[in-house]
Structure 1
Amino acid sequence: MVPTNPASGKGTYEIRIGLWATRKQAFEVQERLTRALCPEPEHSGPCKIPWSSAVLEPEAVDEDGVGYDELVRQAKIEGTW
């Protein structure tokens, strides 16, 4: 865990979004989120609030879907499992 800077009160936060999707769909969602965070990608200099994004393969996220039980359960209900 990255510590919070006591002078500014700022620190690093991680937001995870679990998706039941194909690889292509996952990258499409990443692109849309990227545009929401930085709607003007050609701006000069870094973004006001530094950020990054990544798409992780299912194996890298959590073995056997632990932590995403609800997502897996919904995929089974919808027949997309």
Structure 2
Amino acid sequence: MAPTNPANGKGTYEIRIGLWATREQAFEAHERLTRALCPEPQHSGPCESPWSSAVVPPEAVDEGGDLYDELVMQAEAEGTY
């Protein structure tokens, strides 16, 4: 987390969402989440709360690999692994 601004108490937080999906499903989920954060992409000026997002391929997730073990176990149990 980036430092918190003492004047207003705001800081930068990161929210990660692990998703067992195909590439196409991941980008569809990304699009839907993006629209939830900013329903009017053509609005003038910046969003009220600045934000950014990204889709990261599985091979690029190198931090805390065990965070997604539960997703893999679920996919194996469902036969989608």
TM range (shorter): over 0.9
Q: Gapped runs of 5+ residues in structure 1?
A: none
Segments of 5+ residues of structure 2 without an aligned counterpart are none
Runs of 4+ in 1 over 6 A off after TM superposition: none
Letter in 2 for 1:55: V
* Residue in 2 that maps onto 1:48: 48
**Structure 2 partner of 1:20:** 20
SS at 2:20 equivalent: coil
What does residue 35 of structure 2 align with?
A: 35
Q: How many pairs were matched up?
A: 80
Offset at residue 61 of structure 1 (A): 1.1
What is the TM-score with the length of structure 1 in the denominator? 0.93
Name the aligned partner's letter for residue 4 of structure 2: T
Identity of aligned residues (%): 80
CA shift, 1:66, in A, is: 2.2
TM-score by length of 2: 0.93
CA RMSD of aligned residues (A): 1.2
